[in-house]
Structure 1
Amino acid sequence: MAINNKVQGIDVSHYQGTVNWTAVKSAGISFAFAKATDGNTYTDPQFKTNWTGMKAAGILRGAYHFYESNDDPVTQANNFIKAVGSIAIGDLPPVVDIEINKGGFGNATLAANLQIWLNTVEQALGRTPMIYTGPSFWNQNMNNSFSRYALWIAQYGASQPTIPIGWSSWTFWQNSESGSVAGVTGSVDTDVFAGSMADLLAFAAKK
């Protein structure tokens, strides 16, 4: 499972059903992200269970929002904020997952709306959010003005991921959508962190 001895993680949603987080931890997983919300109103039905279960098992936890470009960014941000309640120092930063441009928005509009989501969440939760995306989507639909946000890049089958415009490095890399991890039924997304466990703990402690 190890890739260049990097710290291993997974990300989950209700599609994984009930996760045995103690078994996941025993399998060598150090961090995990759980889907919290999607768009203006949707909350993942497994989020609360995953959120508490990850912490109880001693796994560094993060929460992500799936961004719907057709929905209002402030309403989406508030949906996420309501679901997570708070993100403590020691938890991973809040994440926005942007990978679809419904409605065919121009780069400037899509970027401006995403910035509104990021600003709203950062102000409410006191943490600098992180961006999850794929290199092709980002390069086609976005711009290079988001470098202050840590990058969680999605790319499979590569020895190293492609860095999208605006960044010089990645922080997390989703390297597979078909991983197998004890404690999770069926396939699961696997991730690695670009650093040591001490680096990851330091990253989780930053505002």
Structure 2
Amino acid sequence: MAKKKKRKKRRKRRQLKIGLRTVAVLLALLCTLIAWPYLSERKRPEKGAEIPSGTYSYGIDISRYQSRIQWDSLMVMTDRQGRTISSKTYAKDIKPVSYVFIKATEGITLKDRFFHRHWKDAGESGIRRGAYHFFRSSKDPLQQAEFFIRTVGPLAENDLPPVLDIETIHKGCSHKLLNEKALVWLSEIERYYGRKPIVYSSASFIDTILCNEIKENYPIWVAHYDVDQPRCRRWHIWQFSDKAIVHGINGMTDLNVCSRLTLDQL
């Protein structure tokens, strides 16, 4: 009898252990199922801007803030919701980066410290490149144009036209004076390069400050975010976000679109 009781006790202990293990496994599975949506979301790539609908060519604009660029890896990848992402695993669509605008100068003395490196690398990558100047209304416009020309030098046949980035106005400067100064820069650049420069600004700045002579005679590159279409009657390039994810660049960056026909005509 004693032996039978011992065997029963051992059997009960084994059954109890098996039962506890089974419960532990089931609890672990339950916890995994509950946590899975959060764990899987954490593994998903960071999402950036939603791209606009339409058939466009995509381009970026860069400065010293984008110091490290993998030029042979640049591409715009989007998920099923049309948002830019960094991972090819979740990419539903992949588009090439067709052009890049690189900051060259600002005012009459400030040269972007990475301009020459970016300019050289872009040229070697085969991506169409263009250089831009950040305009300071408090500085002499002719000196600003000359500074840009000295920094950038001659353009290759496939290079994009120079860009005037005009988005600020200094205290005490009238709209009329700002436009007069901008036209001096534009005229000098057009005279030297034999090509019409592009004018970049925000939709509100274009609408309320830039004069018709500029808006009607120069290609317009408008910055307008979180809209289906920019609020600009006549535009050639649209910067639709400053928070896009572009494969080959660390962090968020500006992203632009234009039609292929427009790009060929610039």
> TM-score, structure 2 length as denominator?
0.70
Change (3 A) 1:134 1:99: same
Give the C-alpha shift of residue 25 in structure 1: 5.3
Residue 187 (structure 2) aligned to one of 119, 128, 143: 119
Determine the C-alpha separation between the residues in 1 that align with 2:51 and 2:58: 7
1:203 corresponds to 2:265: yes
Who is 1:15 aligned against? 65
Give the C-alpha shift of residue 141 in structure 1: 2.3
Give the C-alpha shift of residue 124 in structure 1: 1.5
Residue 29 (structure 1) aligned to one of 97, 104, 112: 97
Determine the C-alpha separation between the residues in 2 that align with 1:80 and 1:55: 18
Cα distance per residue 1:154-185 (max 9 Å; x no partner): 0100100011xxxx421100010011111111
Letter of the 2:221 counterpart = W
Who is 1:52 aligned against? 120
Who is 2:109 aligned against? 41
Give the C-alpha shift of residue 104 in structure 1: 3.5
Give the C-alpha shift of residue 138 in structure 1: 2.6
1:172 corresponds to 2:237: yes
Who is 2:209 aligned against? 141
Determine the C-alpha separation between the residues in 2 that align with 1:52 and 1:25: 19
Cα distance per residue 1:133-155 (max 9 Å; x no partner): 11212333222111110000001
Could you list the structure 1 runs, at least 4 aligned residues long, displaced by more than 6 angstroms after superposition: none
RMSD across aligned C-alpha pairs, in angstroms? 1.6
Identity of aligned residues (%): 36
Task: Say which is worse superposed, 175-184 or 21-30, in terms of deviation.
Answer: 21-30
Change (3 A) 1:199 1:149: closer
Q: Which runs of 5+ in 1 are unaligned?
A: none
Cα distance per residue 1:82-122 (max 9 Å; x no partner): 11101233211100000000123112111110000001111
Determine the C-alpha separation between the residues in 2 that align with 1:67 and 1:199: 24
Determine the C-alpha separation between the residues in 1 that align with 2:207 and 2:227: 18
Give the C-alpha shift of residue 56 in structure 1: 1.1
Determine the C-alpha separation between the residues in 1 that align with 2:206 and 2:57: 25
Task: Say which is worse superposed, 174-183 or 21-30, in terms of deviation.
Answer: 21-30
Determine the C-alpha separation between the residues in 2 that align with 1:134 and 1:2: 18
Who is 2:246 aligned against? 181
Residue 157 (structure 1) aligned to one of 210, 221, 226: 226
Letter of the 1:5 counterpart = T
**Do the aligned partners of 1:9 and 1:30 also contact (CA within 8 Å) in 2?**
yes
Letter of the 2:117 counterpart = T
Give the C-alpha shift of residue 2 in structure 1: 5.1
Who is 2:166 aligned against? 98
Give the C-alpha shift of residue 199 in structure 1: 4.5
**Do the aligned partners of 1:65 and 1:97 also contact (CA within 8 Å) in 2?**
yes
Determine the C-alpha separation between the residues in 1 that align with 2:60 and 2:172: 31
Determine the C-alpha separation between the residues in 1 that align with 2:228 and 2:62: 23
Determine the C-alpha separation between the residues in 2 that align with 1:181 and 1:135: 24
**Do the aligned partners of 1:128 and 1:149 also contact (CA within 8 Å) in 2?**
yes
1:89 corresponds to 2:157: yes
> TM-score, structure 1 length as denominator?
0.90
**Do the aligned partners of 2:236 and 2:262 also contact (CA within 8 Å) in 1?**
no
Provide the aligned length of Structure 1 versus Structure 2: 197
Letter of the 1:57 counterpart = S
